[in-house]
Amino acid sequence: MRNTNRCLILRLLPVLPTLTFWVPVNADSFLSNTLIRKNQVQSVLEHQPIDALECENTKPTGPIDITMCDYETVESVNRDLFSNIHDLVKMPFFKYFQVDLYRDCPFWDEYGSCNNPGCAITTVDESEVPMKWRASALSKVDALVEDRHELPGCYYRDSDFCWLDDNTEGDYYDLTLIPERFTGYSGPEAHRIWRTIYEENCFGLSEFSLMDGKAPGAVTLPDTMTDVLREDGADSDQCLEKRVYYKVISGLHASISTHICAEYLNQTTGEWGLNLHCFVNRIASHPERLQYIYFNTVLLLRAVARLGPYLSAYDYCSTGSRQDDAETKEKLLNVISIAQTAGKFDESVLFRGENANVLKEEFKVHFRNVTRIMDCVGCDKCRLWGKIQTTGIATALKVLFELDEKTLDPQRNANLLQRAEVVALINTLHRFSESLEAVNEFRQIWADLNSTESEQLILDAEKAAIPIPHSPYHDVQQPSGLFAVARSRVMSVIQACKMSAMECVTKLYSLLNRMSSVLQPSRKDSGPGAYEEL
């Protein structure tokens, strides 16, 4: 087996290593198809967006990795996308979200809590929620007729990439009153959340079976995807599915960090605003993180484009106001139209070949675990938006990799998706679109700086990128940490076996894969640095 495909050495240790990538020749823009490390801050903040009419440019200036779209197209449509979707998520159907934020953490016994007032959120009384979308009504609606795998208060179906609430518990929240912003939730607990999420990037033996097995049938790929199958700027031996998984997780992390920096609390003045220093340290000094935001945006747009007929036929009537309902449908149709232009992602090239189904099941198991990890977040606001966005991405993954055109037919499957899945998908796309808008605002602030100020920001970012020698997050000599993490994993297996035989097998298989990966190194299997906050 190829050692380069194995999970990170000593995977179970509480370590969050930083990414290291090689520098390509003549890489002068974050639009480069390869990850860069030279003049990285300038490449992000001094980039001037280029208008493009459509994704099918003959020679796109900046192709987005593993997609059939380019950066310029996303940039040229994002202003219109953001304008429409920003209004759409304020409509009654999309602003109310029901979720149980207080389910027990399944991975370790205790988790810290955030005492900062910024972590707190306010629930909405059920009487304020339109009758049609209350729990009593939603509990009567069944989605796909599939075997459900249940735990108290939540479940997943065979096609799902996430755990879903069963609408029997949980509170309602008005998302327009709970902006995703800086909360002060950081430190060891936030590190542990992201570290555990990135550990789910270990796919075990199915990846090797897929890569070493019989080659799938021929498929015609656009040049950009053909290139990425040959070389992804890092480990070319790594399977495409695993690289997609990594980009999805890293893009989510980068988008959340962008929102934190865009709505940052100045603890001296008490004012909220853009924090360029935060953005330079967390995103601009690592251009691949911005690339992953673009990647996720295209993936979400592709899911919305595929769901176009289904979403167009969905019943959004919630207030009885014809004006509200007409505006909801108008904004949604605009978003779908934009998605059909820029959502160019060929999902058919993934999970192919005789062993592909095994890898897909592992992919789903790992992402379901990510959605359960959200129950361990100690900040209420962070946990809410973490649950929404992991559910939104999981919905997109299901639409792309599990549902065919016949299944997506609204006449055949009117209740194909839960309302929570539709709301989460649109709100998650809004989060990524808003992140790209925020990047342009940071670029304007950067342009107004003098040379001394900009040089100081870059110097500070370079210092921040140097690991602290004795940091507990970089010291691998921690047997007590290894024991604690291993114990939590074993306990989670025991808990799963008490609840469900299927979940027991899944957890046990995942644990064995992790244990087998401990002794095998990997060149690229870590999270994007130590920008920690949710």
Contact residues for 107 (Cβ-Cβ < 8 A; gap 6+) = 196, 372, 373, 376, 488, 489, 492
Report how far apart, in Å, the C-alpha atoms of 458 and of each of 199, 454, 483 are.
30, 6, 39
Is the pLDDT higher at 34 or at 464?
A: 464
Is the pLDDT higher at 81 or at 209?
A: 81
- Tell me the pLDDT band of 51, cut-offs 50, 70 and 90: low
* Contact call for residues 130 and 319 (beta carbons, < 8 A): yes
Residue 23 pLDDT = 29
Is the pLDDT higher at 194 or at 33?
A: 194
Q: Is the pLDDT of residue 217 over 50?
A: no
* Contact call for residues 259 and 436 (beta carbons, < 8 A): no
Residue 68 pLDDT = 79
Residue 386 pLDDT = 96
* Contact call for residues 153 and 168 (beta carbons, < 8 A): yes
Q: Token pair of 419, please?
A: 């309302």
Concerning whether 379 is annotated as a catalytic residue, the answer is yes
Between CA 261 and CA 272 the distance in angstroms is: 10
Mean pLDDT in residue range 25-36:
50
Q: Is the pLDDT of residue 221 over 90?
A: no
Residue 314 pLDDT = 87
Mean pLDDT in residue range 361-383:
92
Tell me the backbone φ, ψ of residue 173, rounded to 5 degrees.
Answer: -135, 140
Residue 140 pLDDT = 47
Q: What is the dihedral of CA 302, 308, 310, 311, to 10 degrees?
A: 100
Is the residue at 52 inside a domain?
Answer: yes
Q: Is the pLDDT of residue 444 over 50?
A: yes
Mean pLDDT in residue range 453-469:
76
Residue 50 pLDDT = 62
Q: Token pair of 335, please?
A: 């978003």
Between CA 342 and CA 74 the distance in angstroms is: 6
- Tell me the pLDDT band of 204, cut-offs 50, 70 and 90: low
Of all residues in the chain, the percent with pLDDT exceeding 90 is 35
- Tell me the pLDDT band of 380, cut-offs 50, 70 and 90: very high
Identity of residue 524: K
Edge-first strand order for the sheet with 148-151 is 148-151, 154-157, 164-165
Q: Is the pLDDT of residue 29 over 50?
A: yes
Task: Choose the catalytic residue: 7, 239, 379, 497.
Answer: 379
Is the residue at 530 inside a domain?
Answer: no
Please write the tens of the pLDDT for every residue from 143-156: 444 577 878 788 88
Helical pair 380-401 and 356-373, crossing angle rounded to 10 deg: 160
- Tell me the pLDDT band of 392, cut-offs 50, 70 and 90: very high
Q: Is the pLDDT of residue 523 over 90?
A: no
Is the pLDDT higher at 485 or at 42?
A: 42
Residue 512 pLDDT = 61
Mean pLDDT in residue range 401-422:
89
Domains in the chain: how many in total?
1
- Lowest-confidence pick of 11-15, 77-81, 204-208, 446-450: 11-15
Q: How far apart are the first and last CA of the chain?
A: 36
Is the residue at 226 inside a domain?
Answer: yes
Is the pLDDT higher at 489 or at 477?
A: 489
For the ranges 57-61, 138-142, 337-341, 509-513, the maximum mean pLDDT occurs at 337-341
Is the residue at 143 inside a domain?
Answer: yes
Mean pLDDT in residue range 400-412:
90
Q: Which residue has the tokens 């009593």?
A: 136
The residue segments making up the domain with residue 175 are 40-517
Mean pLDDT in residue range 491-497:
59
Length of the chain (residues): 534
Q: Is the pLDDT of residue 457 over 60?
A: yes
Is the pLDDT higher at 116 or at 516?
A: 116
SS3 25: coil
DSSP strands (E only) in 264-313: 264-265, 272-273
Is the pLDDT higher at 269 or at 207?
A: 269
SS3 170: coil
* Contact call for residues 339 and 302 (beta carbons, < 8 A): yes
Please write the tens of the pLDDT for every residue from 277-334: 999 999 998 889 999 999 999 999 999 999 999 999 988 876 556 777 788 999 999 9
* DSSP β-ladder status, 148-151 and 154-157: antiparallel
Conformational region of residue 26, where left means phi above 0, alpha means psi within -120 to 50, and beta covers everything else: left
Is the residue at 5 inside a domain?
Answer: no
For the ranges 235-239, 378-382, 526-530, the maximum mean pLDDT occurs at 378-382
Is the pLDDT higher at 216 or at 237?
A: 237
Mean pLDDT in residue range 159-164:
88
Q: Is the pLDDT of residue 272 over 50?
A: yes
Residue 149 pLDDT = 84
Q: Is the pLDDT of residue 189 over 90?
A: no
Task: Choose the catalytic residue: 114, 382, 497, 504.
Answer: 382
Q: Is 484 exposed, middle or buried (0-12, 13-18, 19+ CB in 10 A)?
A: middle
Q: What is the mean pLDDT of the chain?
A: 75
Is the residue at 209 inside a domain?
Answer: yes
Q: Is the pLDDT of residue 485 over 50?
A: no
Is the residue at 112 inside a domain?
Answer: yes
Between CA 497 and CA 374 the distance in angstroms is: 21
Mean pLDDT in residue range 337-366:
88
Residue 186 pLDDT = 83
Contact residues for 330 (Cβ-Cβ < 8 A; gap 6+) = none
- Tell me the pLDDT band of 110, cut-offs 50, 70 and 90: low
- Lowest-confidence pick of 128-142, 172-186, 491-505: 491-505
Residue 24 pLDDT = 33
Concerning whether 382 is annotated as a catalytic residue, the answer is yes
Between CA 430 and CA 338 the distance in angstroms is: 13
Q: Is the pLDDT of residue 449 over 60?
A: yes
Is the residue at 232 inside a domain?
Answer: yes
